[in-house]
Structure 1
């Protein structure tokens, strides 16, 4: 990896879930330590798997990795920091305010923004305070702050508490109110991130269009903040070794096409290409090989499963999904797992059964929507929730109300607060609520849905409203019915979409926990883009099949009551023909 030829002292790795961010951070740390340099590897991921990757139990203090002299690693837990902060903020009000009000406050501080600031606080103590890491030559972080966090922390008003009483209900300023004492360290941290002589920010992506778009967005945000010292890793690049293997040839071609069409801002960065590993990057030996071209030989006999033992395809769920004749179907999951495609495929299958179906997508490119619309399938209408437009409308509304009487500095801070991911989540939620109401008379299929936190936030707000006013009649009927509908398994069915890999499965498991906190039980899990049931001969893909098996088993045995498995497709699954293939059972694509 080229950035290791002349590495800066600090290396930050960032990227969406499942692209291999942690693996790349671990590999870099191991390779630097092998040169005799003292290296500290730090994760602030609440679900960090550094322990598993390095084969060493870790805690909140630097722990030596016995198999790699000079390497130390630690897991910082932002959830613990966020919990402690919440208790400092809410504790004084217990027994003073009504219980419903306290629950509302607790949920207000349970969102991603609280966790984001708490995570930043944890690693700022290491980056901003040079004495804290003076015994190390390099510090490698497998999590980097978002552009939103950095912008918020550079605004002077964030530390004055000036608008604490003017923005009641905003979700991002709360954490800052409890962290004002760290002002100097935060300023030093932001300065260090922008210093090209001491810090490199490594963007990790996959050779896929959606992953490139996300990396380009992150790159733009950081460039605007003066963080120009960026390096791009394209991880998981596959080159077929078996011309007779149609699946291997198609995968190689699709990757090449994605790389050739990557956004211009990424194409201009210094780049490292990491080949697709034969299996998961677990253990120090595999990390030492990252960045090298592996020569795959005919694999030893692998543990296999007969086709009959694999979960059936999406078609196995369709009878149950169609039985009620109307309602809402939600495809939920992290970015890049294919939830838009799964939602579109389910919508097409329902329409072809003769139902009236409305598909609503947040796909920024709207490729699926445009393709279906062009084919004019009877009974199917397609709309699009535009997150940018919904967020702009919501932001304008807040600025006209909460921001009306603020001075210029106060408005600047409120505007930045409204640029947070939480704002988009709330704005899209409003559009989502409008769409859900249509499920009373037809099928509504949505490729996006509010997180468990957002649902609980609505629930606690309603409870607080009732407690204070004692007049539930003031709540609009549409809002009153929303939560019961989401929690009604005969009205709303949630499909949790994931990939057969460690990070996507474990992130989906956390999503399921959030939904259950909100009293919503997922209907089924969909394991997307699986190689496991396919007939492949390429040695790398054969090894990848073997690597998928424990994650498929984990979903089947411990996480889901119903499971559907969608095989990897030779062609991108767009258009009616492509979406019909998604619904087809795996048996049509196997031996």
Structure 2
């Protein structure tokens, strides 16, 4: 395998490939062409975006939206974009009644409390992971390619899940301490709050286990520029700190020797080579490093993705 290609993604067992990195580095392009690759290889593949400003519809040139949508020109590939409004509605549908049962077991509240909690910061992010887990636990897809939010949002999402899991343990212990008093006030009402908390904690643990499973790989996408490379180091460090497996680094928009055909482009290539060298120095021998060249055509539409896929997965074709 050459350093330029993405063939390393074909190695080993994989179930979730999550593409992470600074906003604007090309995560959507990288994740989309990878999803097309696996679909072409006969894998049932889902491309999912949790980016607050998703662009799968733009790059695939088909209205994806919040429903899982088959991609006509790529048999075996489906895609879905989870936006905030959709996630909140799904959250209310799945957990709204339980939230009301839990809170109303010890506070005199009306059902509109569900709307209030649904708007709380982090609820959309929390449910996005729960939605992903349902897909992971099911048997509809062989590979899930995840176009994540920009780096800070993705890391916050993982941190939130870990915090939520620990807080649910505290919530259960707190409820046990005050249960006798609450039972006297709420005798015969609603579901047992401890069972609800235990159910949520189990889901949270399942999500954390999914994220840390060896079949889940984080692929960090970056550009050969100072700010991007600096953030790449932080992203890799943070992912590893949380126990996630970093599967490789993708350097996107690399100017090739052939393209360095003017003084401007030659100067730009020299700058890029400096930062490519820094990435190689930090991670060569530790992580696979691939390069996606700056193309002379617009990567938009399934046919363009197939064209790029032939170049970037040439060693595994």
Alpha-carbon distance, 1:533 to partner: 4.6
Distance 1:477 1:484 in 2: 10
Considering only CA atoms, is the larger Rg found in Structure 1 or Structure 2? 1
Distance in 2 between residues matched to 1:581 and 1:546, nearest whole Å: 27
8 Å Cα contact 1:567-1:586 kept in structure 2 = no
> Which residue, 166, 181, 184 being the options, matches 1:463?
166
Normalised by the size of structure 1, how large is the TM-score?
Answer: 0.39
Alignment of structure 1 residues 121-136 onto 2, 5 Å: none
Change (3 A) 1:358 1:349: same
Q: What is residue 542 of structure 1 aligned with on the other side?
A: 266
Of 66, 77, 86, the match for 1:389 = 86
Higher relative contact order (CA 8 A, sep 6+): 2
The residue aligned with 1:92 is: none
Shift of residue 481, structure 1, vs aligned partner: 1.2
Number of aligned positions between the proteins = 261
8 A Cα contact 1:375 1:576, kept in partner: no
Rounded Cα–Cα distance in structure 2 between residues aligned with 1:446 and 1:327: 10
Q: Distance in 2 between matches of 1:343 and 1:352?
A: 14
Q: 1:426 deviation in Å?
A: 4.5
Question: Would you say the 8 A contact 1:426–1:454 is kept in 2?
Answer: no
Structure 1 residue 532 displacement after superposition: 3.7
Deviation at 1:458, TM superposition (A): 2.0
* Structure 2 Cα separation of the partners of residues 575 and 366 of structure 1: 9
Match of 1:352 in 2: 40
1:580-591 paired onto structure 2 within 5 Å: 580-585=306-311
| Counterparts of residues 272-421 of structure 1 (less than 5 Å) | 311-314=3-6, 316-320=7-11, 323-324=12-13, 327-361=15-49, 362=51, 363-364=54-55, 366-371=57-62, 375-390=72-87
SS in 2 for 1:331: strand
Please show how residues 434-583 of structure 1 align to structure 2 within 5 Å.
Answer: 434-440=131-137, 441=139, 442-448=142-148, 451-467=154-170, 469=172, 473-475=198-200, 477-489=202-214, 491-559=215-283, 561-583=287-309
CA distance in 2, matches of 1:443, 1:509: 27
Q: Distance in 1 between matches of 2:123 and 2:300?
A: 29
Q: Which residue of 2 aligns with 1:24?
A: none
**TM-score for both structures, normalised by structure 2:** 0.70
Distance 2:308 2:165 in 1: 40
For structure 1, the residue ranges without an aligned partner over 5 or more in a row are 1-307
Per-residue CA shift, 1:121-155, capped at 9, x if unaligned? xxxxxxxxxxxxxxxxxxxxxxxxxxxxxxxxxxx
Distance 2:296 2:168 in 1: 53
Answer whether contact 1:497 1:528 (CA < 8 A) is retained.
Answer: yes
- After superposition, the Cα gap between the structure-2 partners of 1:586 and 1:475, relative to the gap in structure 1 and judged at 3 Å, is closer
Per the alignment, in what secondary structure is the counterpart of residue 355 of structure 1?
coil
Preserved CA contact (<8 Å) 2:71 2:78: no
Partners of 1:369 and 1:383 within 8 A in 2: no
RMSD: 3.6
Deviation by residue 1:306-333 (Cα, 9 ceiling, x = unmatched): xx9x82222x22321xx42x51110111
Any idea what SS the aligned residue of 2:128 has?
helix
